[in-house]
Chains A and B, each alone.
Chain A
Amino acid sequence: MKRFIGFIKKEFYHIFRDRRSLFILFGMPIAQIMLFGFAITNEINNVDIAILDHSKDITSQEIINKIASSKYFSIKQLIKNEAEIEAVFKKGKVKAVLIFEKDFSKNLTKENNATIQIITDATDPNTANTISNYTNSILQKYQQEINKNIKTPYQIVPKTRMVYNPELKSVFMFVPGVMTIILMLVSAMMTSISITREKELGTMEILLVSPIKPFQVIVGKVIPYVFLSIINAIVIVLLSIFIFKMPIQGSLFLLGVESVLFIITALALGILISTISATQQTAMMISLMGLMLPTILLSGFIFPIASMPLPLQVISNIIPAKWFVIILKGIMLKGVGLTFIWKETLILVVMTLFFIALSIKKYKIRLE
């Protein structure tokens, strides 16, 4: 036991004396969560638009006021003729131009029909779509206001309710994903690198010749990373609660247990990688290409799995991160208990056992 403690202590020396690994361990989680939380978002805020108002009457003015007062848009420029539209787009100053036709008020009241043209810059299709949707909804609201007194005979009123994330905050979607990536990165990549490093330096050989047992070596190398990964998970959850006001609907205990399970899955993968790679660089490349990319692309955290082509949907099933993202979303956003996520949990448990068994087998072959 005392040997073991000495071993773990040594492992912490390695970690704390290496600035790079320290940065990956503690800088990355915070940087990533901040990036995803603040910078990378699907929402639009204060998008610059231009307005070309041919009528300049009371109605058009009212609509412009509505738009200006919404937090989504800020009116950057008022232009005077169609020729200028192209110019403002090319300068990249504005993302959309709203054009009110001539005699807007008059057309509306006399002919019950007036047109606003919305031209959006679709070099970024997502933003263009969102802008047009937001503008439409502002216009509709205004229409309802002026029609308040008039009764239309038939009307279908859709009442949408967005459950689990009513404000559609993208950060709520990113937190489970980022947590998954970081736990995967820290646990799998860092352990595989630290184990292969011993091989590369030749110290692994010295350890194998010593009375310390091979499984003690591996467990000893892994324990510090379990500890650091748990700290990371806590930091991410705290950041999301206090900075992004993310509600944790479900049980914190269950969240903790599931996180530890996923950490162990990732560590088992890390050990497996270390048994098949001889150098730190190989270990890093395998971790990045074989784990990080699929984790980011196929876990369903950025790109919905349901809209992927079938082969990719099938492949996504073998990505541990996919199941963990489902578990996290369930606990954090929906507040479900184990009864709803036991299947995903079981899958992770089975995967973990499989990876551990496989790495023990590989490890023995190496010792021969």
Chain B
Amino acid sequence: MKSKNVIKVENLTKKFGDFTAVNKISFKVKTGEIFGFLGANGAGKTTAMKMLIGISIPTSGDAQVAGFDVFKNPEDIKKNIGYMSQKFALYDDLTVKENITFFGGIYGLSRKQIEEKRCLLVEELGLQDIVNELVGSLPLGWKQKISFSVALLHNPKIVFLDEPTGGVDPITRRQFWEMIYKTANNGTTVFVTTHYMDEAEYCDRVSIMVDGKIEALDTPTKLKEQFKADTMNDVFLKLARG
């Protein structure tokens, strides 16, 4: 299983008028891998990710996600992926339970499946006391965990995380990465963008985007060797400064 490529991208390009946001990027992501997608603000990582999750149409190139083509079958891709945005978007005026029911529902889960999933989540995350609370009243760390679990409700093949740890404290970030490991161990591929270079070290492989191109792609250890750096932070700085 490990060898199978779940994301295949070749010369993927996105232009907005004269501006090329993503310039002929190519990479592959294996099943069960934690793939870090790094880059400075404006380097084009969000645009690249949007093309992969089917809400932005590429200008040229090829991409297959979960075995489906981004041009021909974006709807099939949507059924097979989970997505969590940097805003941990849940409905603040709905309770935890109602959020789970709603998102389970739009992914076409049956009432019974939702019920089972919910019990499982309550058990795993220790939500017993807050399951009937409005999400708006919960601390950010809780929202993040619930938001991640909601993205996994329909057992997607790949889960896309867009800066999933923004604004939460180090302990919560640590706990969150434990959740990511667990998910990857269960065979779900994790595609994660981040600003924190220490988090890049947790990934199986990372790619670094600079000005719309992928400038480096390998395991953190090899990247550090290649760039003769002690930390991923140094690797990043060397690349970004050119």
Seen from chain A, the residues whose Cβ lies within 8 Å of a Cβ on chain B are: 2-3, 6-7, 9-10, 13-14, 17-18, 201-203, 205-212, 367-368
Q: Which of A18, A210, A367, A368 meets B106, CB within 8 Å?
A: A210
- Interface check B105, CB cutoff 8 A: yes
Contact with A along B133-154 (1 / 0, CB 8 A): 0000000000000000000000
- Which A residue sits closest to B104, measured CB to CB? A6
- Interface check B57, CB cutoff 8 A: yes
Stretch with Cβ within 8 A of A (4 or more), from B18-26, B89-97, B225-233: B89-97
Given A10-B98, A13-B94, A211-B79: A206 in contact with B89 (beta carbons within 8 A) = yes
- Interface check B53, CB cutoff 8 A: yes
- Interface check B187, CB cutoff 8 A: no
Q: Which of A17, A202, A205, A210 meets B93, CB within 8 Å?
A: A17
Contact indicator A368/B94 (Cβ below 8 Å): no
Contact indicator B90/A210 (Cβ below 8 Å): no
Contact indicator A211/B75 (Cβ below 8 Å): yes
- Interface check B108, CB cutoff 8 A: yes
Interface residues of B in 210-232 (CB under 8 A from A): none
Seen from chain B, the residues whose Cβ lies within 8 Å of a Cβ on chain A are: 53-57, 75, 78-79, 81, 83, 85-87, 89-94, 98, 101-103, 105-108, 160
Nearest CB in chain A: distance from B94 CB, A: 6
Given A10-B94, A211-B79: A202 in contact with B89 (beta carbons within 8 A) = yes
Contact indicator A6/B105 (Cβ below 8 Å): yes
The residues of B that contact A14 with a CB separation of less than 8 Å are 91, 93-94
Q: Which one of A9, A10, A208, A368 has the highest number of Cβ atoms from chain B below 10 Å of its Cβ?
A: A10
Contact indicator A18/B55 (Cβ below 8 Å): no
Q: Which of B57, B75, B79, B89 meets A203, CB within 8 Å?
A: B89
The residues of A that contact B57 with a CB separation of less than 8 Å are 368
The residues of B that contact A207 with a CB separation of less than 8 Å are 106
How distant is the Cα of A17 from the Cα of B85 in the complex, in angstroms? 25
The residues of B that contact A2 with a CB separation of less than 8 Å are 105, 108
Nearest CB in chain B: distance from A20 CB, A: 12
Contact indicator A6/B106 (Cβ below 8 Å): yes
Q: What are 18 A-to-B residue pairs whose CB atoms are below 8 Å? A: A6-B102, A6-B106, A7-B102, A7-B105, A9-B102, A10-B94, A10-B102, A201-B92, A202-B86, A202-B87, A203-B89, A205-B55, A205-B85, A206-B103, A209-B81, A210-B103, A210-B106, A367-B56
